[in-house]
């Protein structure tokens, strides 16, 4: 029971294929008590999906772009629990104009929305929930990431927002470390979630990844990512902060698909060219 007695806030549960859903499920199975968040039309959906978890849990309304929402949730959790052992930031959004080849044409207003939801909100979580996490023995803030070291087809401004998220993680780790709070990101390989399906070019990454990953990669299986997030939420990694942990089958470490022989490209490599 890795998370026995832990009290966690999990954002981003929209369907049972969401990474955040598997985080919540595994956390409950490992003994945690959780609260979910949702907002707008998605709030009803999150409440419906929450019923599929192993144990009933509350779903609070929280739009990450609304400071009042963040403060209200923090105040409610202070009254309910008096502390938070972990917070999962599984929140990202970019308008369609900023994706799918819109890097040079996207308006600043749309880019700003992507940064507000996907990057700045992580720092806002640290500011608002930091005191609650500091009240825990092993407070942990964990965000979801996608490899921002390279430019991916169709990812465009979301890729830039994720690069900002990685930098934000390091600064938050610096700011919250003295309070005993750890801040980390988990960079997942491509997974067939609702958000991913809306990104033009996702199919290319989906096909490429299993060929690159030494351990292989199943785009339909979010459990490996959920397990690592839960490990970071636990007290088993007390000296790890400011990190981006790649859970991608090892693809981030590989430059190209394997060769069939010396100087000879494999059939798969030719197909990717």
Q: Inter-axis angle of helices 19-29 and 223-233, to 10 degrees?
A: 60
DSSP codes, the chain: -TTTT-EEEE----STTSHHHHHHHHHHHTT-EEEEEE-THHHHHHHHHHTTSSS---EEE--TT-HHHHHHHHHHHHHHTS--SEEEE------GGGSSS-TTT--HHHHHHHHIIIIIHHHHHHHHHHHHHHTSTT-EEEEEE---SS--TTTHHHHHHHHHHHHHHHHHHHHHGGGT-EEEEEEEPP---HHHHTSTTHHHHHHHHHHH-TT---TT--HHHHHHHHHHHSSS-TT--S-EEEESTTGGG-SSPPPSBTTB--HHHHHH-
Q: Which residue has the tokens 């945690």?
A: 32
Q: Which of 111, 91, 94, 98 is nearest to 39 (CA)?
A: 91
User: What CA–CA distance (Å, rounded) separates 29 from 24?
Assistant: 9
Contact 11, 37 (CB under 8 A): yes
Q: Catalytic residues, which ones?
A: 155, 162
């Amino acid at each position: 029971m890795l998370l026995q007695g832990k009290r966690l806030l999990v954002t981003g549960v929209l369907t049972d294929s969401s990474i955040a859903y598997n985080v919540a499920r595994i956390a409950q199975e490992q003994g945690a008590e959780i609260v979910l968040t949702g907002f707008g039309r998605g709030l009803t959906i999150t409440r419906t999906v929450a019923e599929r978890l192993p144990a009933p849990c509350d779903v609070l309304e929280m739009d990450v772009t609304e400071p009042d929402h963040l403060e209200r949730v923090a105040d409610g959790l202070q009254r309910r629990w008096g502390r938070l052992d972990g917070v999962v930031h599984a929140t990202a959004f970019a308008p369609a104009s900023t994706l799918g080849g819109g890097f040079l044409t996207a308006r600043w207003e749309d880019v700003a929305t992507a940064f507000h939801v996907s990057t700045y909100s992580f720092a806002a979580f640290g500011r608002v929930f930091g005191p609650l996490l500091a009240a825990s023995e092993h407070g942990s803030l964990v965000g979801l990431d996608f490899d921002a070291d390279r430019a991916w087809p169709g990812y465009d401004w979301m890729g830039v927002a994720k690069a900002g998220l990685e930098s934000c993680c390091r600064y938050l780790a610096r700011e919250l470390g003295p309070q005993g709070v750890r801040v980390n990101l988990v960079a997942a390989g491509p997974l067939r979630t609702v958000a991913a399906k809306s990104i033009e070019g996702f199919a290319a990454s989906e096909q490429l990844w299993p060929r690159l990953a030494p351990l292989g990669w199943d785009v339909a299986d979010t459990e490996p990512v959920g397990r690592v997030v839960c490990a970071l939420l636990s007290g088993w990694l007390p000296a790890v902060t400011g990190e981006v942990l790649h859970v991608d089958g090892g693809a981030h470490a590989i430059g190209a698909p394997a060769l069939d022989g010396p100087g000879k490209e494999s059939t798969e490599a030719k197909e990717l060219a």
